[in-house]
A and B are shown apart, each in its own frame.
Chain A
Amino acid sequence: MAKDGNEDEMVGYRQQPGKLPFAKPGSGGKNQFSRPTDQNMIPESQGGNLAQPWGSHRHDKLVSGQIIGKPTALVDGKWKVTGQAQYGDDIRLPGELIGRIIRSPHHYARVLSIDFSKALELPGVVAIATGADAKNKFGVLPVTKDEHAMAVEKVRHVGDLVACVAAEDEATAREAERLIEVEYEILDSIHDMRDGLQDSENPIHDRGKYHIGDANVQKRVFQEFGDVDGIEENAIASHKENWLFAGVNHAATEPHAVVANWDPSGRLTLYTPQQVPHYVHRALADVLEIPMHQINVYRTFVGGGFGGKSDPFPHEMCSAILARKSGRPVRITFDREEVYWINRGRHPSRIEMNLHADEQGRICGIETDALIDGGGFASFGHVTTYYNGVLHTAPYEIGAFHYTGARVWTNKPASGAMRGHGAVNSRCAVETGLDDLAEQLSVDPIDLRLANLLPPHSATITGFRVTSIGMRECLERVKQESGWDKKFRKMPLGKGIGIGCGFFISGSGLPIHWDPNKFPHATVHLKIDMDGGVTVHTGAADIGQGSDTVVAQSVAEVLGLPLDLIRIRSKESDTSPVDLGSYSSRVTFMNANAAISAAMQIRDELLDATVEITGAEREKLVIGDRRIFAKNDPAVGVSYLEALHKAQEDRGALVASGAYRTPPMGRTHKGAAAGLAPAYSFSAYVAEVSVDVETGQTKVDKVWAAHDCGKALNPLAVKGQIIGSCHMGMGQVLSEEMKYGRSGHLMNPDLLDYKIPSVHEMPDVFPIIVESNDPEGPFGAKEAGEGPLLPILPAVCNAVYDAIGVRTAELPITPDRLLRLIERKCKAEGVDDPLELPSPRLEHSELQSVLSNRATEHAKRDLDRRHNENREPYHNGALFGLDPTTPPDEVDEKWAVNVIPSEEYLADPRLAGSAWKHTERRHRGDS
């Protein structure tokens, strides 16, 4: 410290112990005075003006009117706009080496030998590693660890990792890559997911006694709820479609990159743009055979995730291994094609969707069969296999539900979790199916949906506990704002409008790695010292969605502080409490809840201190902007800093830890936990499209996008998520595709040939936020990151039908595919010129009024259930005459839950269902 200048002050400070050199009240800072509370932000339940049509919330009393619900710039935004945000490849440590990965040129082969002697002789090459350096398996799910850092025995797809090298500079590393000689024995590869169901001489993985026959079936699911055999006899309309969905990739603009550094004390710091740092942390410990506390995982800024950066990755292991061998930091950055080789994108899928409606326009049955192509590794696939079924058991009440799902290994880059995980494709099939049912029944498809919705606070057919539901409002809003009634089935040829809905989890109920009763889902620590700034430690990974911001907002709101007093530390595992990471749309729900819980503890301490200073009644105190005061006499109060210093008197810095765990939920059948969430989001989109019938080109013109996110804590970010989801979903429905050539090679692993929509393809999106005020969500919030992607696909498909009368069952709807369907339609209609095709038209049947009336009744029912705290339970099935208060399987034998297929079913299984024909080896008696 400088000896001159402030010396007098410092002497003064020493002479007056206990007196702090803080500015006098009102003397410092830019905003001297606290702002009056904005009554429009205080809920009705607390005497404010904020309307609460969905009732009060347990967090209402925490609202200080500060920031929740205000469009808020991201707290890390300034780093991003100045170029100061450090992403994976921006971490440059002194003495770094550049790592490169040697990859398989074969689809499927045994690695016989690796000769890296020539590479080692190259000046500048410092370390080389192969599969022999890391024998332990890892994988994101503990039940399916099937990955190695580098090939141990076999390579499973073109681009699979074989070895890695670290060198002084990139040119040397790339040259070394060239000099490493690998000898392979080529094995017969499989590329068509249907082949994965067959027995194979060399299954891509060997799961020992748990292996399913000799096939490449990684996971299979069978689920039946209700009287599945009775579906068809009740049905007066049935929709049957076989869908083929191409695989799509997250294509985040930032390619994967990682830096590993072992510090002099022998601890590893891994810098990586990760959505789920904690799982990498665990996997690193397994692979490197060191305890977890010897590792610090540092999450850099993440240049887009969307699920593509949520697995522990082999290249992360490679950098750590190379850095250990070389004694130097090692940076590995992917070229774009490597991003496609690590993939983890949405599964290519074949989905058979059968929907049935009865004479009252009820959905009396859904039968789904989903075969999904997992590529070379398991990744999140175990969960994806369930999600393809269970995530379309809402928002509609269903008579009976049958689902068979199977995930197979093929010799392609691994599929995994991508925004809308497992729900997107089957949702598209359901929603286009409903459109077809409405067509068959001659009713309006929106009214068909409105008359079949589950009410709030109900249980789905699979036993998911659903709390708040804003589905009805979403549908009504888009219907009104899009001018639906004037447009649907009324526009000229080539112009169309379509509806699609969505339903998604807000956080997975089951933490993958532990019992939720023994360890929380999310934990947040707060630390406040004399300066008044609040340091928030959270492990939630901000991947651009704004999770840091939402946690900061939550703390700021509870403590009545402007956002600039909150600082988030979320990057390092050394300083952040364990968090499950950014997937399954869990962060806002779980992390903000944990943050609120921690902030409430601080708030209590501040209130106690205020009571001590002012003698005011604790019950009458409220928190405003940086002030705590008596509600009935605002002059009685203290500043935030005064209260804080009082609270600090005997203990120094205030610290608090808040945690969140899900309540007990769901049923007990096998797989019951998949799809369980503490809350669910709902959405309805209307898309308006133009189709050029001569070229098959589709342009989305407008999208009205209503999403029930519970409560928009940050409406700016929620809208951003909705619009961004439209963009990404539009890519999948119209142009994006991981295109595999006839030799099984991925033909378009680059951003020119992988067709992400440009600004010119982007329609005008009108985001509509619906706030159903979830009772358990933080301030009522649920999720907005993934659910909004679901409805855009079917909305566009249905709009294309409205425009030209053609239903597609293959995505993406590229112009060449659509033109083939148009030509077929022309043939069927007997017209030569597609411009003469008839446009679909609708004459309502008698059922229309039945549906409208039921929708009106149900609207009242829902309103009542929303507000009535003493509501009775409502189980799916009530619409079909069952007792709503008891789970149907407890009262009706026909409703029994089946998770194992019957002999009868196996005699004639559907495609994915045929995976059940194999016997698990442990039950086979031959191994």
Chain B
Amino acid sequence: MRMPPFQLHTPTSLEEAILIAGDLTSKKQEFDWVAGGTDLLPNYKWHLNVKANVISLAKISELTELNETHIGAMVRLQDLVQSSATHPVLAKAADTVASIMVRRSGTVGGNICLDTRCYWFNQTEQWRESIDWCHKCDCGTEADCRVIPNQNTLCVATYQADLAPVLMCLGATIHLAGPNGTRSMALSEFFQLDGMTRNVLQTGELVTHLTLPEDVAEWQGDYQKLRQRESWDFPEAGVAALWKKNGSAKPSQLRVATTGLESIPMLHTTQVAECLDGWSGAESINELSESIRKAVKPVQNTWFSPSYRRKMVKVLTRRACAGLMEGGS
């Protein structure tokens, strides 16, 4: 029993959930959402940014809808893996998340909203005390960052979730709901570069679902993940590449996104545009891989060294694009 005290709320509808959120907000009480719990609960056990209230989404069945173009936030990762409605690259990425046990609890929404991670942050309270605290979780302690020292405003914790890059490449739209109504945006706009906040969710707002464009089935591609072990491990780097072809060797559309390298996942539009402009087949893929390697800036806060992860981005990009070079359209 290492769980600190908090009040758990278990609404059974989205409407009720938002009401509770609004109510707590008006009472100036802090709260977190919990979906599958595989991210939040370990963090809570280590006393990382614990709030006085937690609203569980587990009993809201309306968030579990899943079809080719609609993925509810509470769809569990293992259900995503096993569903025939899931895009094969998305299923592959989901299948690499942690272990099958974690995937049975973990959800799509939870994976998208995964808290950023850092070797100096994801530690017990006792451990953090030994480094005189970490500013990502122990605010008010005036603790300095251990990764980028001598400052305590910038946080460079790493976003290590697998689904986002694939969903970004598939052109997913994310849908949010909150006390002030609903809003939607491209998934790539959902993230904002800050290791602490990491996305645009306002207090009381939550992810309800993602939608994919109608042509999703026409996209092909791959997801490549770097990790030490084939179970349990978060991505030390992850690259998704998806493309559409219309008969010629050159893809009519190509998108590449990375994860596990910075505080948010990145869709590499400039680099891809350059690649397609001067398309020359395999050579272009090599150049693209190199330009993406240059574009990412990992820091020393995960299992592998940043220089290695950066080098691997190049290899992973090339491998993710390998299917592009194979015949067929």
Q: Which residues of chain A have a CB within 8 Å of any CB of chain B?
A: 103-106, 158-159, 170-171, 174, 335, 337, 694-696, 735, 741, 743, 745, 747-749, 752-753, 755, 757-761, 814-816, 819
B116-136, CB under 8 A of A: which get 1 and which 0? 000110111011011100000
Given contacts A695-B312, A743-B146, contact A760 B231 (CB under 8 A): yes
Contact B232 A758 (CB under 8 A): yes
Contact A815 B228 (CB under 8 A): yes
Within 8 A of A (CB), among B246-260: none
Q: Kindly list the 9 A-B residue pairs having the minimum CB-CB distance in the complex, ordered from nearest.
A: A816-B308, A758-B231, A760-B230, A105-B130, A170-B1, A105-B129, A158-B130, A694-B315, A755-B228
Contact A171 B130 (CB under 8 A): no
Q: Which residues of chain B have a CB within 8 Å of any CB of chain A?
A: 1-2, 5, 99, 119-120, 122-124, 126-127, 129-131, 146, 226, 228-233, 303-305, 307-308, 311-312, 315
Contact B229 A755 (CB under 8 A): yes
Which partner residue on chain B sits nearest A753 by CB separation?
B303
Contact A106 B130 (CB under 8 A): yes
Contact B304 A752 (CB under 8 A): no
Measured between beta carbons, the chain B residues less than 8 angstroms from A757 are: 229
Known: A695-B315, A815-B308. 18 other contacts (CB 8 A): A104-B130, A159-B130, A171-B5, A335-B124, A337-B124, A735-B228, A745-B130, A745-B131, A748-B119, A748-B303, A753-B119, A755-B229, A755-B303, A757-B229, A758-B230, A758-B232, A760-B229, A816-B305
Contact B127 A749 (CB under 8 A): yes
Measured between beta carbons, the chain B residues less than 8 angstroms from A159 are: 126, 130
Measured between beta carbons, the chain B residues less than 8 angstroms from A816 are: 304-305, 307-308
Contact B2 A761 (CB under 8 A): no
Contact A335 B2 (CB under 8 A): yes
A69 to B268, CA, bound (A): 63
Measured between beta carbons, the chain B residues less than 8 angstroms from A103 are: 126
A337 to B123, CA, bound (A): 9
Which partner residue on chain B sits nearest A735 by CB separation?
B228
Contact B304 A747 (CB under 8 A): no
Determine how close the nearest CB of chain A comes to the CB of B185; give it in whole angstroms: 32
Measured between beta carbons, the chain B residues less than 8 angstroms from A104 are: 130
Given contacts A174-B2, A735-B228, A758-B229, contact A814 B304 (CB under 8 A): yes
Q: Which of B131, B231, B307, B315 contacts A743 (CB 8 A)?
A: B131
A696 to B308, CA, bound (A): 10
A748 to B122, CA, bound (A): 9
Contact B312 A105 (CB under 8 A): no
A170 to B45, CA, bound (A): 14
Measured between beta carbons, the chain A residues less than 8 angstroms from B2 are: 174, 335
Measured between beta carbons, the chain B residues less than 8 angstroms from A743 are: 131, 146
Chain A CB within 10 A, most for which of B119, B124, B130, B146: B130
Which partner residue on chain B sits nearest A749 by CB separation?
B127
Contact B1 A819 (CB under 8 A): no
Which partner residue on chain B sits nearest A696 by CB separation?
B308
A60 to B25, CA, bound (A): 81
Measured between beta carbons, the chain A residues less than 8 angstroms from B315 are: 694-695
Determine how close the nearest CB of chain A comes to the CB of B307; give it in whole angstroms: 8
A695 to B304, CA, bound (A): 12
Measured between beta carbons, the chain B residues less than 8 angstroms from A819 are: 308, 311
A755 to B121, CA, bound (A): 18
Determine how close the nearest CB of chain B comes to the CB of A456; give it in whole angstroms: 42
A249 to B278, CA, bound (A): 52
Measured between beta carbons, the chain A residues less than 8 angstroms from B311 are: 819
Measured between beta carbons, the chain B residues less than 8 angstroms from A741 are: 119-120
A249 to B307, CA, bound (A): 27
Given contacts A170-B1, A743-B131, contact A759 B305 (CB under 8 A): no
Determine how close the nearest CB of chain B comes to the CB of A697; give it in whole angstroms: 9
Determine how close the nearest CB of chain B comes to the CB of A354; give it in whole angstroms: 30
Which partner residue on chain A sits nearest B146 by CB separation?
A743
Which partner residue on chain A sits nearest B124 by CB separation?
A337
A158 to B126, CA, bound (A): 9
Contact A761 B230 (CB under 8 A): yes
Determine how close the nearest CB of chain B comes to the CB of A89; give it in whole angstroms: 12
Which partner residue on chain B sits nearest A751 by CB separation?
B232
Determine how close the nearest CB of chain B comes to the CB of A554; give it in whole angstroms: 39
A745 to B121, CA, bound (A): 13
A745 to B128, CA, bound (A): 10
A-B contact pairs, 25 of them (CB 8 A): A103-B126, A104-B130, A105-B129, A159-B126, A171-B5, A335-B2, A335-B124, A337-B126, A695-B315, A696-B308, A743-B131, A747-B119, A749-B123, A749-B124, A752-B233, A755-B228, A755-B303, A757-B229, A758-B230, A760-B229, A760-B230, A760-B231, A761-B229, A816-B304, A816-B308
